[in-house]
Amino acid sequence: MKKSVLLACLVLALIAALGYILMGAGIIQAGNLTTDDAPPVIGYVIGGCYAVGGFLVLMKRRWLFITGAVINGFAIVMFYIMYAGQPDVVTSAPGLITKIAQVPLEAGLIYLIVTYRRNESP
């Protein structure tokens, strides 16, 4: 298993986490969304999940890669379903930061799933 891919997935997850946490803290805003549309706690929870998930990748367990890929893929798809008609949200700083990190993270997780070998030494 490529150590560089594991570390890249960790960094990408942490970048996504940072984007969500900055949004939760009100430092950056997703288009014209208000706190009624997206309460700050959501940013903190999602950011925390991405941070924890990034470190879980380092455990080198295939089921964690699969779980992470499913959840991350769901997050990407739901974002575009929910905000497809709102280009100000899609092209906002949080929208771009998180998706620019999440899309290659998804690719990395899929790569890890496909190339996983059970008996590989750490």
Residue-wise pLDDT for 19-75, tens only, equals 999 998 889 888 887 777 778 898 899 999 999 999 999 999 999 999 999 999 999
Identify the three-state secondary structure at position 37. Answer: coil
Tell me if 73 sits within 8 A of 117, measured CB to CB. Answer: no
Question: 68-84 burial, b if ≥16 CB within 10 A, otherwise e?
Answer: bbeebbebbeebeeebe
Of residues 104 and 2, the one with the higher pLDDT is 104
Residue-wise pLDDT for 86-101, tens only, equals 899 889 888 899 999 9
Joined together, the tokens standing for residue 112 give 């890890």
What's the structural domain count of the chain?
1
pTM score of the predicted model = 0.89
Instruction: Look at residues 62, 74, 55, 65 and name the one whose alpha carbon lies nearest to residue 11.
Output: 55
Question: Is 110 a domain residue?
Answer: yes
Cα–Cα dist 20/47, whole Å: 5
Domain that holds residue 92: 3-115
What is the 3 state secondary structure string of 52-92?
HHHHHHCCCCHHHHHHHHHHHHHHHHHHHHHHCCCHHHHCC
Instruction: Look at residues 79, 70, 59, 52 and name the one whose alpha carbon lies nearest to residue 109.
Output: 70
Question: Is 121 a domain residue?
Answer: no
